[in-house]
Amino acid sequence: MPKLSSTRLQVNWTGSPRAPGLTVVLVGDDQASQIYVQSKVRMAERLGLHGEVERLPDDASEADLLARIAALNARDDIDGILIQLPLPAHIDALRVMAAVDPAKDVDGLHALNAGRLFHGDDALVPCTPLGCLRLIKSIRSDLTGAHAVVIGSSNIVGKPMAALLLQEQATVTQTHIHTRGISSICRQADILVSAVGKAGLVRGDWIKPQAIVIDVGTTRVEKPEGGYAVCGDVSFDEAVQVAGAITPVPRGVGPMTIACLMENTVKAAKARAARLQ
C-alpha cells in the first residue's frame, strides 16, 4: 500500500526579473513555530528563492505587527508574506490576515483569495489543502464522482479542502467534531481528509477498504516514559490495515505544505512581474 509523501518540487520563475522573495513573520518564541519557520526558509534557499524571517517579541502589539506587514506590502523585493500561526491571544488574527496584500498572500487566507477559490477563479490557495489535493491525485488522478469526506471546517484547511475537491467534481461531505454519526459517514468515503487536531479520532473501522486517507492533524501527546510524540487524527496502525493509501504523521502532509508555499511564492512573483510589464 502506498504511504503518501511529498513529491519532488520543480520551480520555474521565467518571466520574473529576479528570484522570488518570501518573508515569514513570526511573533513570539514558540518552539514548534520556530521549527516550522526555519524549515520554510531553508526550503526557499534550497530552491534559489530569497527567504527571510521577520521576528517580533511575544508582547508585540497588534499595531506593531500591522506596521511590519504594511512595510512588507510596500517592498518590491518581497512577493510572498506568510504570518506564522498561531498568533498571541492579544492579536486579532483575522485583522492581521486582512492587512496582507492579497497579491502577496501566499498562505491563501485573505478573504479575497478565499472568495476567489469558492468562485472557482484563479487564486492563491491555502498551502495545506493544496498539498493534500496533490497527494490525493498522485493516487487517483480523476476524482469525478468520488465521495470525499472532510473532517474539519476551519478556514485554513477544512473549508478550502472541500472547495478544491468540489472543483475536481468530487461529491463532498463536510463534517466536524460535533457531527452526529460521523463514523458511519466516514465509512462511505472514497477519500477521507481529517484536520481537527484530535489524536486518534479516526479509527480503523471508520475507513472504507482501499480509501485514500489524508491525515492533517498534529497533536503533541505525552508518552508514558516521558517526553512527547506527535500524533495525527488517524489511528495509523489500525488505518493502514484498511486504507488503499495513507499519509503518516509526521512527514506526511507537512512537506507538501511547504512545497506548495514555495509554489505559491513563485506564482505570486510571476503575477507581479506580469503586472509591472
pLDDT tens, residue by residue, 117-151? 999 999 999 999 999 999 999 999 999 999 999 99
Residues in the chain, total? 277
Name the pLDDT band for 7 (thresholds 50, 70, 90): very low
pLDDT digits (tens, 9 = 90+) for 66-118: 999 999 999 999 999 999 999 999 999 999 999 999 999 999 999 999 999 99
Residue ranges of E strands in the chain: 21-27, 50-56, 80-83, 147-151, 171-175, 191-194, 212-215, 219-222, 228-231, 245-246
The pLDDT of residue 11 is: 52
- Higher model confidence: residue 220 or residue 263? 263
Q: Which of 6-15, 63-72, 202-211 has the lowest mean pLDDT?
A: 6-15
Residues of the chain with CATH 3.40.50.720: 127-255
Report the distance separating Cα 116 and Cα 199, nearest Å.
33
Asked if residue 8 has pLDDT above 50, the reply is no
Specify which of 5-14, 35-44, 165-174 reaches the highest per-range mean pLDDT: 165-174
The pLDDT of residue 195 is: 97
Domain with residues 127-255, CATH architecture: 3-Layer(aba) Sandwich (3.40)
The pLDDT of residue 107 is: 96
Catalytic residue status for 84 = yes
Q: Which residue among 40, 104, 159, 208 is the active-site one?
A: 40
With residues binned 3-state (H G I as helix, E B as strand, rest as coil), the percentages for the chain, rounded to 5, are 40, 20, 45
Measured over the CA atoms of residue 100, residue 105, residue 107 and residue 113, the dihedral's sign is positive
Name the pLDDT band for 12 (thresholds 50, 70, 90): low
Whole-model pTM above 0.85? Answer: yes
Q: Which CATH number does 21-100 carry? A: 3.40.50.10860
Q: Which residue among 84, 159, 174, 233 is the active-site one?
A: 84
The pLDDT of residue 13 is: 53
**Average pLDDT of the chain to the nearest whole number:** 92
The pLDDT of residue 67 is: 98
Helix axis angle, 253-276 to 31-46, nearest 10°: 60
The pLDDT of residue 186 is: 98
127 torsion bin: left (phi>0), alpha (psi -120 to 50), beta (else): alpha
pLDDT digits (tens, 9 = 90+) for 28-78: 988 888 888 999 999 999 999 999 999 999 999 999 999 999 999 999 999
Cα-Cα-Cα-Cα dihedral of 59, 92, 55, 19, to 10°?
-170
The pLDDT of residue 233 is: 97
Name the pLDDT band for 277 (thresholds 50, 70, 90): confident
Q: What percent of the chain has pLDDT over 90?
A: 83
Q: Which residue among 79, 101, 107, 233 is the active-site one?
A: 107
Asked if residue 3 has pLDDT above 70, the reply is no
Q: Which of 10-14, 72-76, 85-89, 175-179 has the lowest mean pLDDT?
A: 10-14
Catalytic residue status for 107 = yes
Residues of the chain with CATH 3.40.50.10860: 21-100
Name the pLDDT band for 2 (thresholds 50, 70, 90): low
CA proximity to 200, closest of 179, 230, 224? 230
Report the distance separating Cα 177 and Cα 36, nearest Å.
26
